[in-house]
Structure 1
Amino acid sequence: MGLRTGDEFRKGLADGRRVFYRGRKVDDVVGEPELALAVDHSALCFDIAADRPDLAVADVDGDPVSAFYVAPAGVEDLVRRGALIEEVSRRGGGTIVLKEVGSDAMFALLRATEGQGLENARAFYRRVCRDDLALAVAQTDVKGDRSLAPREQADPDLYLHIIDEDDESITVRGAKCHTSFSANADEVIVLPTRAMGPDDADYAVSFAIPIDTPGLNLYVSPYAAGERNSFEFPISTKHKLLESLTVFDDVRVPKDRVFLNRQPELAGPLALAFVDYHRFTAINYKLPLLDIIVGAASLIAEANGISKAGHVKGKLTELITWSETVRGLAQLSAVRSRPGEHGVQQPDPLAVNMAKYHFAHGFHNAVAILTDLSGGLLATGPGGEDWDNPEIRSVLEKYYAAAVPAEQRLRLLNFIADLTARDYGGYQSVLATHAEGSLEAEKLQISRSFDPTGARNYVRDLAGIAAL
């Protein structure tokens, strides 16, 4: 098929997928306005190929392929991937779009599977590149009682597991949560959520299936639901992600689509391999969001007439320091990358996790600074209906003027409120804490990735202490 356009992507979503949203089954995700918004957002990763082929299109054996899907083979490949992710996120209002996540999973499969699973992964990868498929990733199990192993849960379906197998297929049951893009993707890749022991072999499973596969049911989160106007919600009226509880109700998976089949020794390495790429994606797609926060802080300080105050300059400097540190670590993670298994380049896990941790650790402080500079109108300002009434607008224009005209100030305040104080802002706050891994998960990977041997030996030499 080759590269698809955004319209071709939309047409491909017309199938028999079972999607539930706000208490009812949705027959057409493109025809449902609140879901169509997310489809349009994801279409950006197809449309970018038309005007940025230098960045978004690659030549593979003489055929054009989406550059999102080019498995990195060296530092330059990762640098280019980071630039592509940053650019498509910039078009998406500082939010991830679609192809980034599925390609993260494919690279992990190419690195961390073995035997027939690896052969299946390579065949699937070739088909994804050829047909320009959009992929969701279902990794996080619902987990139940987190103090218990998968096999110890009161309900065995709280982790996705194999319940049957024959010569041609496996059958799986269970659920995954936080599945981004599932309702508007072509296929879903399932990955293990954690390391598994021998007794949890039934839960050590990975595969890919079309979204319209019988038994696959998607329950889409209603966050940011309902009608909204572009005056009050300038970001969330244009950009939306679909997150689902993804339920596998005795789903049959052909064995040529299975990448991990009761191989617990590979579950942990596969989960961590995905983390390497997914957090690299995270720190690059967050870069436009950092620019948004710094830019909005600077503009609202100027609009409110406080930009020359010393404490305001200090707060802006704090935001710049936070933003540029994340950017520098993101670049470092590519520069320090190293060859991984089967020739797929691995981003430096220490720099990747430091960047992600630094972003997440500083996000809420950055929002607090932006809120402080903006003032209470983030919560108490006028709405779109007021602004649309000429009689009321004249009052608003008179009394909400500051160092800039009222319209400029109010539109900027609504932009900041949408980003920080309203439901989309709450979504971003949760993403900063939990998306692509929690703060504690990142700290754990930082600890695992740092080798203190060189520093310890240096101190021993300086101190005249012999190594034990």
Structure 2
Amino acid sequence: MKSAQEYKEDIRKMKPVVYAFGERVEQVVDHPAFTPTLNSIALTYKMAREKENENLMTAKSPFTGKMTNRFLHICQSPDDLIKRGELSKVLTPFHGACIGARCAGTGALNTLYALTYDIDKKYGSDYHQRFIKFLEHVQNEDLVCSGMVTDAKGDRSLAPGQQADQDVYLHVVEAREDGIVVRGAKAHQSGAALAHFNIVIPTTSLSEKEKEFAVAFAIPANAPGIIHISEAPAPNARRLQSKDEMDFGNFQYGVHGSTLVVFDNVFIPKEMVFMCGEWEFAGIMAASFGSFQRLATACCKSGHCDLLYGAAAVAAEYNGCDKMGHIRDKIVEMSFQSALAYGTAIAAGYKARAHASGVYFPDPQLSNAAKLQAVDAVWLASKLATEITGGIICTAPSQKDFDHPDIAEYVNKYFKGKAEVSTEKRVRITRLIEYLVGQGSIIPTESSHGGGPAAVQRLVMRQASNLNYLKGRAIKMAGIKHEQMNP
């Protein structure tokens, strides 16, 4: 498997077309809006090569016969899904940021493995074998595959085929013997500019009249016609203005690194096309990806909560209030809410169901419940950590203030906590908490929307709730006779 440095050199050589803050980025690996994300992804290479992480971070591929990074593994048992969840839970406290370029790619790979099998079974096509060849390639070369689902969408009240501008949903504009040409965009794509391949699947159900939107494929992130336009949240702007690492809390890893990915008449070779026009599978593909991804996302956010309550506990010690009852209660509550999310996600893996292709998908009700709980846990943990840390979380001085000869003495004197703890240590842990609670990052907001918004999860849970059966049991237990159930 690749080393972290080999991965970084790959992306350096690829030189995808990227824009950030109104300028063309000459070298994405050196840009402050992308280098931290690159470091996070590189961590998945570094840790996978360490003996103590072998069982968690690698798996034997049934396709190549070799060990592969678990982010590229097709889950063939409930245990595979459980380990996928554990992987997110364990990794997040190491980077505290996002490895979406690999994380969502796992969901896309597993979904396509199953759905290409289904499409071939109905139509006699060869998508599944194409996909397996692609899978063998990325496993052999240990490549980063970002999963791309969300379209730009335009008017949310209209279906893809009803949009005033059809390009707000990615679609096929030309079908050729050797492949297809696509146009449109995928939005909010975590780490897409730092991936070897971008894997595209539909974002919603489609009608027969919307066949051109039913497309799935893989394409290098630097393919001609692909343009990455960087996110620009306020914390990223701070990175353009300063290199004082103490001011960022998570200087090495703390950027989400998403882009709007524009496909300006991009050619996709036939061997990289895994769906083209099979509209009735689009919604199934999106839903399958969602259930898979929400297990991983819930475990990731549980890991964020763990890191945050660890940081809050340090801040409490530095402030001299770690023995206070209400502080201890808040930290226990953060741990409790995190464990609920993680436990529900692991249960979703344990209760997984086998697809005819051999891939396992998590229980949809539990995986969606886990994601909902994880989001609540992140927001509550942010609130409680803010209360524990105190007002310094929004008034802390900068590193330049510590270095200024006229005011350094005052900064050190009046921002101090316990006598035996340096002011710098107190400010550093405060900056990390500032980052984790969303004042210096997008973590809580991204937690809400990553893997799909809450309304989608609630819809899936409603569909999976077996409500009519339970209404029937209640009616029978109550002694009510011959009641007709409404769906």
Q: What secondary structure sits across from 1:179 in the alignment?
A: strand
* Distance across 1 between alignment mates of 2:60 and 2:325: 52
Match of 1:222 in 2: 232
Partner of 2:135: 125
User: Could you say if the C-alpha distance between residues 291 and 462 of structure 1 is closer, same or farther in structure 2, counting changes exceeding 3 Å?
Assistant: same
101-110 or 76-85: which moved more? 76-85
SS in 2 for 1:259: strand
1:312, 1:159 → 2: CA distance?
48
* Equivalent-residue separation in structure 1 for 2:220 and 2:451 (angstroms): 23
Shift of 1:141: 0.9
Cα gap change, 1:419 to 1:236, in 2 (>3 Å):
farther
Shift of residue 457, structure 1, vs aligned partner: 4.2
CA contact (8 A) 2:365 2:465 kept: yes
The residue aligned with 1:39 is 38
CA–CA distance in 2 between the matches of 1:255 and 1:264? 18
SS of residue paired to 2:30: coil
Query: Is the 1:172–1:251 Cα contact (8 Å) retained in structure 2?
Result: yes
Q: Deviations over 1:207-227 (max 9, x none)?
A: 111122111111112331312
- 1:313, 1:41 → 2: CA distance? 31
Q: Is 1:108 aligned to residue 123 of structure 2?
A: no
Does residue 363 (structure 1) correspond to residue 362 (structure 2)? The answer is: no
Q: Hey, what does 1:258 align to over in structure 2? A: 273
Measured on the aligned residues, the alpha-carbon RMSD in Å equals 2.1
**Residue in 1 that maps onto 2:214:** 204
Which of residues 256, 269, 276 in structure 2 aligns to 1:241?
A: 256
In 1, distance between residues paired with 2:43 and 2:335? 28
- Percent identity, aligned pairs only, is 29
Instruction: Identify the residue that residue 14 of structure 2 maps to in structure 1.
Output: 15
Query: Are positions 1:30 and 2:29 aligned together?
Result: yes
> For 1:219 and 1:184, how far apart are their aligned partners in 2?
12
Q: Deviations over 1:407-448 (max 9, x none)?
A: 332222122112225331xx1122022111111111111112
Q: 1:180 aligns with which of 183, 190, 200?
A: 190
Q: 1:144 aligns with which of 154, 169, 175?
A: 154
The structure-2 alpha-carbon separation of the partners of 1:50 and 1:170, relative to structure 1 and needing over 3 Å to count, comes to same
Deviations, residues 52-102 of structure 1 (Å, cap 9, x unaligned): 223222233542222222211111111222222322323212533532221
* SS of equivalent to 2:294: helix
Gaps of 5+ in 1: none
Q: 1:79 aligns with which of 37, 62, 82?
A: 82
Map of 1:185-334 to 2, 5 A cutoff? 185-223=195-233, 224-225=236-237, 226=240, 227-334=242-349
Worse-superposed segment, 399-408 or 111-120 = 399-408
SS of match in other structure, 2:156: coil
Counting only pairs closer than 5 Å after superposition, residues 318-467 of structure 1 correspond to structure 2 as 318-389=333-404, 392-403=407-418, 405=421, 406-420=423-437, 422-424=439-441, 427-466=442-481
Specify whether residues 376 and 136 from structure 1 end up closer, same or farther in structure 2 by C-alpha distance, changes over 3 A only. Answer: same
Inter-partner Cα distance in structure 2 for 1:165 and 1:173: 12
Contact between 1:196 and 1:265, CA under 8 Å: does it hold in 2? yes
Shift of 1:294: 1.8
What is the Cα deviation at residue 373 of structure 1? 1.9
- 8 Å CA contact 2:95, 2:254 repeated in 1: yes
1:58 aligns with 2:73: no
8 A contact 1:45–1:98 mirrored in 2:
no
How many Å apart are 1:185 and its aligned residue?
Answer: 0.7
Contact 1:41–1:97 (8 Å) recurs in 2: no
Residue by residue over 1:377-419, the C-alpha shift from the partner in whole angstroms, topping out at 9 and shown as x without a partner, is 1111211112234664433332223335233322221221122
Distance 1:306 1:55 in 2: 37
Q: Distance in 2 between matches of 1:229 and 1:16?
A: 27
Match of 2:158, SS state, is coil
Is structure 2 residue 71 aligned with structure 1 residue 89?
no
Q: How far apart, CA to CA, are the structure 1 residues paired with 2:354 and 2:67?
A: 25
Q: Deviations over 1:296-340 (max 9, x none)?
A: 233323333334444434433332321221121122111111212
What corresponds to 2:123 in structure 1? none
- Is this contact kept in 2: 1:112–1:341, CA < 8 A? no
> What is the number of equivalent residue pairs in this alignment?
464
CA gap of 1:39–1:416, structure 2 versus 1, over 3 A, is same
Q: CA deviation at 1:121?
A: 1.9
d(CA) in 2 for partners of 1:16, 1:281: 29
Matches of 1:182 and 1:431, distance apart in 2: 16
Q: How far apart are the structure 1 equivalents of 2:151 and 2:58?
A: 34
Measure, in 1, the Cα distance between the counterparts of 2:357 and 2:65: 23
| Contact in 1 for aligned 2:341/2:377 (Cα 8 Å) | no
TM-score, L = length of structure 1: 0.93
Q: Which residue of 2 aligns with 1:170?
A: 180
1:280 CA displacement: 1.3
Please say which of residues 320-329 and 347-356 is displaced more in the overlay: 320-329
- Contact 1:236 1:418 (8 Å CA) reproduced: no
8 Å CA contact retained: 2:19, 2:230: yes
User: In structure 2, what is the Cα distance between the partners aligned to 1:236 and 1:16?
Assistant: 24
Look up the equivalent residue of 2:89 and give its one-letter code. Answer: E
Secondary structure (helix, strand or coil) at the match of 1:321 reads: helix
